[in-house]
Amino acid sequence: MDLNAYQQAALRTAATKDTPNEVFHLLLGLVGETGEIAEKAKKIIRDHDSDFAQWDRDDLAKELGDTLWYLAVLADHFGLPLADVAELNIKKLADRQQRGALGGSGDDR
């Protein structure tokens, strides 16, 4: 599925932009969903000796999908097509790779 088509489909189940505190709802939802993924990863480390082959792939796909939904709706809230966000990210990473700056920290490396 095309990223912009996904974003438009996600918006069919989203609250309107003028809903009070909607940006906070979206931000907290995004953090919450990524936190659920991290929590499940922690349990694999703790209970399965870091054997990520034990991860329930269907469950992971659902959690990643929830994260993608929040990301898509949040991007739209600020007028950003999801495909543009993805393209910008790939260009940024390719530039860092070309300059040998993938490692390290900081947004402007």
Q: What is the pLDDT of residue 70?
A: 98
Residue 27 neighbours by CB under 8 Å, 6+ apart: 74
**pTM of the predicted structure, to 2 decimals:** 0.91
Q: Looking at the 3D structure of the chain, how many domains does it have?
A: 1
Residue 37 placed within a domain: yes
Burial pattern 18-46, b for ≥16 Cβ within 10 A else e, equals: eeeebeebbeebbeebbeebeeeeeebee
Question: What is the residue-averaged pLDDT of the chain?
Answer: 95
Residue 87 placed within a domain: no
Residue 61 placed within a domain: yes
Farthest-apart Cα atoms in the chain, separation: 46
Q: What is the CATH number of the domain that holds 59?
A: 1.10.287
Q: What is the pLDDT of residue 45?
A: 97
- How sure is the predictor about 47, in pLDDT bands with cuts at 50, 70 and 90? very high
Average pLDDT over residues 24-41: 98
Kindly report the three-state secondary structure assignment for every residue of 28-53: HHHHHHHHHHHHHHHHHHHHCCCCHH
